[in-house]
């Protein structure tokens, strides 16, 4: 950081007297809820993990979730802000038989950590209070280190297909034809690097989401939630196949399905509440991922694919949220004052 000149200004002396803004309230609340859920999921995974390296990854992930929860609770208590209910030991059965194989765990924790780092990185530039910003910088840095460990384990154990390799450009080039945007007809160009990156990332996320959802579908008790999970499985499988088709058409490598890492157990380790919340939460994160993919895409066929997929995911999230509300399971984020009352 020596290349930057310091600015000797700090808001720390004002932090204690400054109320939390909507950004700080909202981001702390959603971070608490996500890590409250993760701490219960990872606690169960640790009951059935034999691989030394994967076990360490799970222990590190659980330690971070508990640490983040403790830090947020400290902040909220100082602000006289009610601690969210979140999830507890009542939402997990640690004595349930194994539902996933060890290799699934490291794929899952990468999937969850990517969602976390997306949340923390968005918070950092929006937070005004220095103490809250320092927390999100800390959470971001910790999760970044964890992701490095995860990728090292995935590579060492050959559990991941490396992103595709494309030729190194010989010189800078400029686009001079409108057919750069073509997707269905005419002269359709090869995928560019950013399109490939996001197709690969969305495949990786969705194959993990599908395997997790498969285990949930096998063990959920409520028939209405079960039907929603079946819809989610079909939707996710269709999206994966469409994304893979785009890369395979250009002879590019793709991640592989991991459904085989789900056991045949039908004994539920998790409550219906935490499973439904998890899928509504993570399908919501897919909308952000697809939005990021759209932002860097240039081909019309891929834009249409993402837009159609976002619509389907949005409907799934809406229906899942309605079930959460009907069952009294949806905890409300902090809200603006209702002046009509």
pLDDT surpasses 70 at 323: yes
Boundaries of domain holding 249: 184-327
pLDDT band at 331 (very low <50, low <70, confident <90, very high): very high
Smallest CA-to-CA distance from 17 within 130, 133, 134 is with 130
Looking at the domain assignment, is residue 106 inside a domain? yes
Looking at the domain assignment, is residue 232 inside a domain? yes
Any idea what the Cα angle at residue 327 is, between residues 322 and 332, rounded to 5°? Answer: 65
Q: Report residue 189: phi and psi, to 5°.
A: -75, 160
pLDDT surpasses 90 at 116: yes
Rounded to 10°, the helix 102-123/272-296 angle is 60
**What mean pLDDT do residues 36-64 have?**
97
Q: Are residues 76 and 191 in the same domain?
A: no
pLDDT digits (tens, 9 = 90+) for 217-255: 999 999 999 999 999 999 999 999 999 999 999 999 999
Q: Are residues 201 and 138 in the same domain?
A: no
Write down the H helix ranges in 101-222.
102-123, 130-156, 193-219
**What mean pLDDT do residues 283-295 have?**
93
Q: Are residues 103 and 141 in the same domain?
A: yes
Looking at the domain assignment, is residue 174 inside a domain? no
d(CA 265, CA 249): 37
Q: Are residues 305 and 261 in the same domain?
A: yes
CATH number at residue 199: 1.20.1260.10
Looking at the domain assignment, is residue 189 inside a domain? yes
Looking at the domain assignment, is residue 163 inside a domain? no
pLDDT of residue 6: 80
Looking at the domain assignment, is residue 223 inside a domain? yes
pLDDT of residue 24: 94
pLDDT of residue 9: 73
pLDDT digits (tens, 9 = 90+) for 158-173: 999 889 999 999 999 8
Q: Are residues 22 and 111 in the same domain?
A: yes
Q: Are residues 197 and 144 in the same domain?
A: no
pLDDT of residue 309: 96
Looking at the domain assignment, is residue 227 inside a domain? yes
Q: How many domains does the chain have?
A: 2
pLDDT digits (tens, 9 = 90+) for 27-47: 999 999 999 999 999 999 999
Looking at the domain assignment, is residue 245 inside a domain? yes
What percent of the chain has a predicted confidence (pLDDT) above 70?
Answer: 97
Bridge partner list, 92: 270
């Amino acid at each position: 950081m020596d290349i930057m000149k310091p600015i000797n200004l700090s808001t720390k002396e004002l932090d204690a007297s400054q109320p939390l803004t909507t950004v700080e309230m909202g981001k702390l609340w959603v971070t608490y809820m996500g890590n409250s859920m993760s701490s219960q999921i990872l606690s169960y995974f640790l009951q059935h993990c034999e691989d030394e390296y994967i076990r360490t990854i799970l222990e590190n992930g659980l330690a971070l979730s508990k640490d983040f929860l403790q830090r947020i609770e400290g902040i909220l208590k100082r602000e006289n802000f009610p601690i969210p209910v979140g999830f507890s030991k009542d939402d997990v059965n640690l004595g349930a038989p194994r539902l996933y194989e060890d290799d699934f765990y490291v794929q899952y924790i990468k999937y969850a950590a990517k969602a976390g780092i997306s949340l923390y990185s968005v918070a950092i530039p929006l937070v005004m209070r220095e103490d809250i910003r320092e927390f999100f910088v800390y959470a971001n840095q910790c999760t970044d280190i964890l992701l490095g460990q995860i990728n090292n384990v995935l590579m060492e154990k050959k559990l991941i297909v490396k992103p595709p390799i494309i030729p190194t450009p010989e010189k800078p080039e400029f686009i001079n034809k409108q057919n750069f945007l073509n997707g269905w007809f005419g002269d359709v160009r090869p995928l560019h690097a950013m399109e490939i990156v996001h197709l690969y990332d969305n495949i990786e996320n969705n194959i993990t989401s599908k395997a997790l959802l498969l285990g949930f579908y096998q063990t959920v008790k409520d028939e209405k939630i079960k039907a929603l999970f079946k819809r989610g499985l079909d939707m996710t499988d269709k999206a994966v196949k469409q994304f893979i088709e785009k890369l395979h058409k250009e002879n590019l490598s793709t991640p592989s399905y991991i459904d085989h890492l789900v056991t045949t157990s039908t004994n539920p380790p998790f409550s219906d509440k935490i499973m439904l919340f998890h899928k509504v939460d993570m399908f919501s994160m897919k909308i952000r991922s697809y939005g990021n993919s759209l932002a860097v895409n240039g081909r019309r066929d891929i834009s249409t694919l993402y837009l159609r997929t976002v619509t389907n995911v949005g409907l799934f999230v809406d229906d899942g949220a309605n079930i959460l509300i009907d069952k009294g399971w949806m905890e409300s984020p902090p809200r603006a004052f209702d002046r009509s009352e």
